[in-house]
Structure 1
Amino acid sequence: MRALVLDGQGAVGQAVAAELGRNGVTAVLAGRDPGRYEQTVRWRGDLADLHHAAGQATVVVDASGRHDRRVAERVTAAGAALVEIGDHAAYLSELAGLHTRTPILAGARLIPVLAGLLARDAVAHSPGTVSMADPVEIGVVLGAGDPENAADTGSTYALLGHFFTDPATGEEVLNFSGRQRITLPDGTRRTMARVDFPGQSRLTASLGRPVRTWFATGDALSTALLRGLTRVRGADRLPPAFHLPGTDGWQVVARAGQGPDSVTSWASGRHQLPFIAHIATIATRRAPTVEPRLHRVGDLLTLSDLAGLEGLDLGRSTLGVHQS
């Protein structure tokens, strides 16, 4: 298999290309600078460079972060499948409206993928006594010391000051408001704020029960800052590169049910990049086998696809019994 990897300013494209190579895929790193990349792709005009390069590949992996529907149109017109690393909601809506003859797999970011997998796992292992009306609570903690953690945190700034509909009650909720104490994989309890996290509505529909998402940064002061900013006019225009302090660690938990009948599935680790590259590699290898339409990468994976990765801790607490 030959994969064309469209690189951006960060390290994601290079990490994906390296991981693909370790898994037997011929990976060609592409970008604008002919002195840096094996394949030159310019982003001008009708993207003829991209169409030509994609015609020589089985799959194109877009790690450029450009969110340009022309990329999907040119790649699929050339007969290659597309794997889009990002999960920008507006861009995915555009991709869903395309009629292509090859598949598009979108959303290979680690945290949204894990949130969905853990929520499904918690629901699958919850006892029959758990009510379908009980919300599935997802909690995410990101320390901004890792560039990928910071990128995910920065992507939430656009939610500041905006309202969304609570899938459980139908009420309007202000992003970064509310309080929920959630026990994390390391045993600590953190107070988190409500956010309209990517995939919350889709998970509600697929699980047949309401899903609520909660967010905190790696330290309580930064989380408090976001709580305050959400009530400041224009805060949603805060640049994604705005730096918050924090560590390179991240933690994700999903809880189904309440009290002694609750089931919690969790994951934690440091440095997202190796795991993003692993997820993108799985998506790339599976892309030629799925039908020509938009697929969410998280829907094609299970937790077993990630189990055993060095540095990734996965576990489940069922009826008070801890399993790792």
Structure 2
Amino acid sequence: MTSVLVLGGYGAVGAHVVERLRADGVDALAAGRDPARADRVVDLTDPRSLESGIDGVSAVVNCSGSEEPAVAAAVAGRGIPFVDITATSEYARALERVQGPVLLGVGIAPGLSSLLAAEAARTEGPVDVLIGLGAGEAHGPAATAWTYGLLGKRFDDPDGSRVRNYTRPTRFDLPAEAGYPPFPALRTDFADQHRLTQDLGVPVRSYLRLDSRLATVGLAALTWTPRIASLIPAGGMPGGDGWVIAARGGDGRSWWATGRAQSRATAAVAARAVQRVLETPITSPTWLHETATLDDLRPALADSGIALGTG
């Protein structure tokens, strides 16, 4: 029987991946250091623990928040597909250099965002991608660390300039289904925009906003004083759990997806992606948009309550 090992399998995203895979008839094993919660105890800081942990599995999904290329290399080096939900550009570039089957951009952003961008790129001109996240959702510590970790940092724009995260506000017309009030989104370094610019042959730029104006403005302010972020109390920000992704093509037309609970939606995409890589094997680092289309994921998205549309 096919077994899939989910690193961080009892975390914010991993628990949903395990649940989704099992619902689809896949033997999913939750992995982690806590023997009370893990189906298979794996300590990613111990190479011997990882080596024994991946024995007999057909694929590994990394939902642990650990971004260590050596882990991916250890898994892929044995010919086992390593599927990662990361949005971090530096780590994604490291994964692209791993020898063996690695699947990147597996979630809603990157992932679903990449597939929507591929649709929008069919029109002439650049593609702007909006990722709208619910500020009130109880995200895992890795997602929170990623958001605040970008404060004050810069990344390369397709035009060669350097862009500071959470700057250059831009407005998007969003579907009414998303329930998002109109206000600008901010340039943000999602990993897939760099690969998409290369693969689609047009400039692709990613923007982030939250469903709360206050929380979005807060990110814009904190990027100039990132040290203050450590003073923000735990417990989340004002807002809900609705999310929306929209990819706007050069002709102004948008392809979008929206739903509730980012963690569950990320898991839905990841679960379908790992099943696809088992059906259609890869041998080297591959991004989701290189091996799947929006139509390939459409049934799984609908089953998870995710609405798709154009406008």
State the alpha-carbon separation in 2 of the partners of residues 98 and 306 from structure 1: 26
Deviations 1:223-261 (A, max 9, x none): 22222222226468788968322110111111112xxx4
Query: In the alignment, which residue of structure 2 is the partner of 1:14?
Result: 15
Deviations 1:51-86 (A, max 9, x none): 123121111222211122332233234442222232
State the alpha-carbon separation in 2 of the partners of residues 85 and 216 from structure 1: 20
Query: In the alignment, which residue of structure 1 is the partner of 2:38?
Result: 37
Matches within 5 A, 1:84-95: 84-95=84-95
Shift of 1:151: 5.8
State the alpha-carbon separation in 2 of the partners of residues 61 and 233 from structure 1: 32
1:96 counterpart letter in structure 2 = E
Query: In the alignment, which residue of structure 2 is the partner of 1:320?
Result: none
SS at match of 1:19: helix
Shift of 1:171: 3.2
Query: In the alignment, which residue of structure 2 is the partner of 1:190?
Result: 183
Identity of aligned residues (%): 36
Matches within 5 A, 1:135-214: 135-148=126-139, 152=143, 154-167=145-158, 169-186=159-176, 188-214=181-207
State the alpha-carbon separation in 2 of the partners of residues 20 and 113 from structure 1: 18
Matches within 5 A, 1:1-324: 1-7=2-8, 10-45=11-46, 47-100=47-100, 103-124=101-122, 126=123, 130=124, 134-148=125-139, 152=143, 154-167=145-158, 169-186=159-176, 188-232=181-225, 234=227, 243-257=236-250, 261-288=251-278, 289-307=280-298, 308-317=302-311
1:286 counterpart letter in structure 2 = R
**TM-score normalised according to structure 1 size:** 0.82
1:6 counterpart letter in structure 2 = L
2:307 counterpart letter in structure 1 = D
Instruction: State whether residues 154 and 242 of structure 1, in contact with CA within 8 Å, keep that contact through their aligned partners in structure 2.
Output: no
Runs of 5+ unmatched residues, structure 2: none
Shift of 1:177: 1.9
Instruction: State whether residues 99 and 293 of structure 1, in contact with CA within 8 Å, keep that contact through their aligned partners in structure 2.
Output: yes
Instruction: State whether residues 5 and 30 of structure 1, in contact with CA within 8 Å, keep that contact through their aligned partners in structure 2.
Output: yes
Instruction: Count the aligned residue pairs.
Output: 303
Which structure has the larger Rg? 1
SS at match of 2:163: strand
